[in-house]
Amino acid sequence: MTRTDPKTPPGAGWYPCGQALDRYFDGRQWTTYTRPSAQPVRAGPEPKPQRRRSGRVVTTIIALGIFLFALCAGGYAIMSGQQVKTIEGGKIEFYANDREYSSQDIADKQSTMQQEADSAQQAAEARRAPVESSLPGLAGRWSGSTGYTYVVEQYGDQLVFQEESPYGVTTVGQGALSGRRVTFRWQAFNGLTGSLTMTISSGADVMRGTLEPDGYPSQPFEMRRL
């Protein structure tokens, strides 16, 4: 006849171990798992170790925070007229204006901008229609609502403008005049392109209209003759 050791439980389960605690016996040996002695002794499956999730939770919270920051910052930039180029991984890249670039950045682009201006002038010369006396004369220097100066050249009904910043030419545009309305296509030194449509005042000293960067919200724009 075999004897059962009174200290060895009959099967796997939770058993009192003193100090108001139960300890789990896996059928072969006592484990390190304990719990408050609030439940009756019964056999049951071995408890699974709890996974540590603190790292994953923290990572999730950080990722969510970065996403919300990018969303809010991007929305603010668009609403304020600053153009967003990309939002990736919480990093936001803007189509910054000249004042956010160094003078050297603009200087490095001057040869390219001169080529754009030369090309626009040649195209305007080729497309010009016979001069009509009813066409307003717009050639000259204009102050824009951007705070920069615009030099406008006129070839009959064709127009070319260059945006001048303190560091050089930053935008070149080419357009056509129809009655009291002028429409330009333009390209900035940072690669941004778009259109500009304006109506000419009766005195031909003010032009007002809409600036439309490609793929981005439009905004009002004005030029005044200097």
Task: Give the pTM.
Answer: 0.52
Residues 46 and 59 grouped into a single domain:
no
Residues 45 and 67 grouped into a single domain:
no
pLDDT of residue 165: 81
Residues 7 and 65 grouped into a single domain:
no
Give percent above pLDDT 70 in the chain.
Answer: 65
- More confident site: 56 or 226: 226
Most confident of 9-18, 27-36, 127-136, 205-214: 205-214
Question: Residues 163-217: pLDDT tens digits?
Answer: 988 878 889 999 988 888 999 999 988 888 999 999 999 899 999 999 999 988 8
Q: Above 90 in pLDDT, residue 224?
A: yes
Provide mean pLDDT across the span 82-97. Answer: 47
| CA–CA distances in Å: residue 90 to residues 10, 60, 67, 81, 86 | 59, 13, 6, 20, 10
Can you give the residue range of the structural domain that contains 81?
55-95
Question: Residues 59-68: pLDDT tens digits?
Answer: 555 555 554 4
Residues 181 and 75 grouped into a single domain:
no
Residues 133 and 169 grouped into a single domain:
yes
Residues 60 and 46 grouped into a single domain:
no
User: Looking at this protein, which amino acid is placed at residue 104?
Assistant: Q
Alpha carbon 69 to chain centroid distance?
11
pLDDT of residue 60: 56
Residues 181 and 216 grouped into a single domain:
yes
Residues 210 and 162 grouped into a single domain:
yes
| CATH (domain of 119) | 2.40.128.120
pLDDT of residue 2: 34
pLDDT of residue 94: 47
pLDDT of residue 133: 60
Residues 67 and 160 grouped into a single domain:
no
pLDDT of residue 63: 55
Residues 29 and 109 grouped into a single domain:
no
Residues 85 and 161 grouped into a single domain:
no
Place of tokens 């717009």: 138
Give percent above pLDDT 90 in the chain.
Answer: 25
Residues 33 and 64 grouped into a single domain:
no
Closest CA to 109 of 99, 100, 98: 98
- The number of folded domains in the chain is 3
Measured between its terminal Cα atoms, the distance across the chain in Å is 117
Question: Residues 97-106: pLDDT tens digits?
Answer: 434 566 777 8
Average predicted confidence (pLDDT) for the chain: 75
